[in-house]
Structure 1
């Protein structure tokens, strides 16, 4: 078992996501930053969607109950294993009683921790991703335990990756949403020729943009949405749905973020700047 000594700000279990239930109102959930998570599972030679621990802003303090191999990635934090610094995208062996501790956030917002074979928690509707009310809780508390399979020996084909970090990237590539056609020339100029700040209203459900653009008077029926859907409210506010976002909405869906853009946005926090660019 892995024991959570201190849980950090918002520490959760996520995998590749919960698919096939959007028509029942169940969000996809899963890794907010799929790009970083996939590299960790690749290094550990896990299944692509194997469950990882996802941390937000400040990380936890964790104690390992049996031998395994671990890998970190995503946001850059000061992380130590038994008080010795460790680096991202590198495989390390851990023993029973070893403690990993997260320190100061340097860059980005969400970090991932993987173990060889992935964390072993119950699957609900085909996924281990924590999301209330589908699961009994949405994050790990102090004193929580998470199971994993002991791994006595693992010789990775690649023990570390030199990753070109996208934590500094600010351009969010998008495709046209179903209601893109409602946008006026003025609204298009406001969308694509300026930078926007992330508001303090941001979480796994949605990111809101601080600045508004020109509003609209379009009335529409509630329609399906996806992670990465950009909604425009009548007042001109932009709301970007994320992995735990609602599955339907009544605001025009003017843009749709690419998968990579969702990962880039997932690493942004209050005050960070982004811009939109249509994928050609």
Structure 2
């Protein structure tokens, strides 16, 4: 078990997502950066859909109430066990009573804390991913106790670790392809999408990222149509919204671009003010 001493700005339980319920208006949810999430589970030889903790902006603190084997992947906020720095993307043994804290940011936005065997929380609609209205809680709270699988014997630490692809966290390139309404844009508007460097506005969350720079919009609204994580909508004011894992399943704004799966993962590690460039 794990005790939440401080959840930081936002800590949630996430797995690979909730699928097959879009016709009821249920978002997929799941880890924002599926690449880092799956890496943490793979290093522990967990099932790739095992639930983990997703910690946004670091600044959280946990106490292990039993021996555990853990892996931290995704963003690097200089994690420490009992105030001694530990390595990310590596299998690490922690003992009962050990405390995990996060310090200065080196790169990224979202940290994934995986434990051997996975987090054991309530399953709703075939997923443990937290989402308001589906699960009892949408974020973890101070003093909360998280159920986990336990290990019966101490395992030897390994010196092997996974070398990260720094471009996943530092590159501004966001690969995408044309959305259903892309061809309704003028050539000038299409070229702008390929040439403008966009900034992530403060209006960003698990539901979507709004961009600061605008693209002139003279398109009419469309009939409410299906949208997915990674859909880029063009609002009447010219603002672009990139839908993320907790997004709605339908929308009435023109869908001008669709991000690749890897681009969604990369964007999930971007903070307010960071720059991105669409690559069609």
Partner residue of 1:185? Answer: 187
Helix, strand or coil for the counterpart of 1:12?
A: strand
The within-5 A match list for 1:230-245 is 230-245=232-247
2:21 is the counterpart of 1:32:
no
Q: Alpha-carbon deviation of 1:106? A: 2.3
What is the distance in 2 between the residues matched to 1:173 and 1:223?
A: 23
Partner residue of 1:80? Answer: 80
Unaligned runs of 5+ in 2: none
Q: Is the 8 A contact 2:73 2:113 kept in 1?
A: yes
RMSD: 1.4
Q: Alpha-carbon deviation of 1:154? A: 4.5
2:262 is the counterpart of 1:263:
no
Partner residue of 1:125? Answer: 125
What is the distance in 1 between the residues matched to 2:158 and 2:67?
A: 19
1:132-160 CA distances to partner (integer Å, 9 max, x unpaired)? Answer: 01011111110111111111244699942
Helix, strand or coil for the counterpart of 1:262?
A: helix
More strand by share: 1
Q: Alpha-carbon deviation of 1:2? A: 0.5
The within-5 A match list for 1:12-161 is 12-151=12-151, 152-154=153-155, 159-161=160-162
What is the distance in 2 between the residues matched to 1:40 and 1:118?
A: 11
What is the distance in 2 between the residues matched to 1:92 and 1:157?
A: 7
1:254-280 CA distances to partner (integer Å, 9 max, x unpaired)? Answer: 1110111001100111110001011xx
TM-score (norm 2): 0.96
1:14-44 CA distances to partner (integer Å, 9 max, x unpaired)? Answer: 0000000111111000000011111111100
Partner residue of 1:176? Answer: 178
